[in-house]
Amino acid sequence: MNRSQFAIRNSKITMHSLLTQLVAGRTLTAQQAAEVFEQIMSGSAEPTQTAALLAMMQMRGPTVDEIVGAARVMRSKVAAVAVPTGLRVIDTCGTGGDHTPTFNISTAAAIVVAAVARPRGVAVAKHGNKTVTRTSGSSQGLEALGVRLVSEPAMLTRCLDEVGICFCYAPAHHPAMKYAAAVRAELGFRTIFNLLGPLSNPAAAVAQLLGVAQTDLTERLARALRDLGCRHAILVHGYCDDQRTAGFCELSICGPTRVTELVGENIDTAELDANDLGLPRAKLESLLVKDPAQSAAVIQEVLSGETGPARDVVLLNAAAALRVADLAADWSEGLQLAAAAIDRGDARQVLAKLIAVTQADGKGSA
């Protein structure tokens, strides 16, 4: 069911009855979750009820059905971006929340992927936001690179067409989130809403690379994506070291990575070691930055051809996205394609063109 087909059935179900159901230890069906999140995202739910619902779900973790129902509502209310005829769109958005201040790896990977993908009829609609747990969110990193955040849909469509990549700044595309904003701020902890953004791409991405902050989310979100109609996704949680003491929302070169891949109806999970692909192990410290300006500097170095851990982790994540886009048959081919895009200067040209296009017209800034 896509956003255009979604509709809430007429029902006399109330928020009170669903809260009672949750208190009794039962979960919600996808339809019940859709009905309750329709109330929340249309502004008809009481703040105290919204807070109670979000807290109870978070305590046990939202189920696949609850995520699917809520995501269908979120998708139905998104400010959409039109995709040019003949293009397929992928996303490299993550859930955030890992508290590991790496440079903007998925953003850098998205730029590299666009350089490979656009000539082959695939573009990247990078969905993202500011950070609350890291030193540089995707929007902040792009701004530091000189990219202007754009909210005007026609400009984003132009970016997809001419550059092969656009950045969808989440607050500009999810106006219904305003009804839950105060409650979320008062709660002060992550809720199901933190999972919904990556599942609600404004350009209706057909496939995606999705980084998650918790290992148990890779399979859960893969099942949710399958129910939402996605047919190819790679969900990853990279470890910060070989002891697996902590992790972050990217494929890792500092330790193994938990990889869950959705292809059609099939979901498989395994561990990927970058060493096996010829990428040397690196210390996490080599990927950390203190602010968006430093993140931007690292990305510029990578796109300029500088070798080292930053390049390696970008190549690995770009390879995953190219597999999701069905442009690379395996990890090795993905790494080769990504490396060639950097070494030829194609990726650097994509960034330069994205800056030029977004800065060309000051209207519609996010």
Residue-wise pLDDT tens digits, 186-242: 999 999 999 999 999 999 999 999 999 999 999 999 999 999 999 999 999 999 999
Residue pair 262/219 in contact (Cβ under 8 Å)? The answer is: no
User: What average pLDDT does range 109-133 have in this prediction?
Assistant: 90
More confident residue, 8 or 248: 248
Q: Is the pLDDT of residue 130 over 80?
A: no
- The confidence score (pLDDT) of residue 233 equals 98
Q: Given pLDDT bands bounded at 50, 70 and 90, which one contains residue 3?
A: very low
Smallest CA-to-CA distance from 28 within 2, 56, 9 is with 56
Reported confidence tier of residue 354, pLDDT bands at 50, 70, 90:
very high
State the pLDDT confidence band at 132, using cuts at 50, 70 and 90.
low
Residue type at position 194: N
DSSP 55-71: HHHHHH---HHHHHHHH
What pLDDT does residue 1 have?
Answer: 41
In 3-state terms, what secondary structure has residue 45? Answer: coil
Q: What percent of the chain has pLDDT over 90?
A: 87
Average pLDDT over residues 22-44: 96
**Average model confidence (pLDDT) across the chain:** 93
For the stretch 81-116, pLDDT in tens is: 999 999 999 999 989 878 889 999 999 999 999 999
What angle do the packed helices 309-324 and 331-343 form, to 10 degrees?
A: 120
pLDDT at 362: 58
pLDDT value of position 52 = 97
pLDDT band at 134 (very low <50, low <70, confident <90, very high): low
What pLDDT is attached to residue 10?
42
Fold category of 88-353 in CATH: Pyrimidine Nucleoside Phosphorylase; Chain A, domain 2 (3.40.1030)
Q: What is the pLDDT of residue 6?
A: 44
Q: How far apart are CA 224 and CA 150, in angstroms?
A: 29
pLDDT exceeds 90 at position 248: yes
* Residue 5 pLDDT exceeds 60: no
The segment(s) of the chain belonging to CATH 1.20.970.10 are: 15-76
pLDDT over threshold 50, residue 144: yes
pLDDT at residue 339 is higher than 50: yes
CATH node for 15-76: 1.20.970.10
Spatial distance between the Cα atoms of 113 and 115, rounded to a whole number of angstroms: 5
- Give 286-295 pLDDT, tens digit per residue: 999 999 999 9
Rounded Cα distance between 174 and 176, Å, is 5
What would the mean pLDDT of 325-344 be, rounded to a whole number? Answer: 98
- At 131 the pLDDT is 62
**Using 50, 70 and 90 to split pLDDT, how confident is the model at 136?**
confident
Q: What pLDDT, on a 0 to 100 scale, did the predictor assign at position 348?
A: 98
- State mean pLDDT over 50-62: 97
| Residues 150-161 pLDDT 10s | 989 999 999 999
Beta-bridged to residue 208, according to DSSP, are 91, 233
Judge whether residue 60 has pLDDT over 60: yes
Residue 6 DSSP symbol: -
All CATH 3.40.1030.10 domain ranges of the chain, comma separated, are 88-353
Tokens 């999705």, residue located = 210
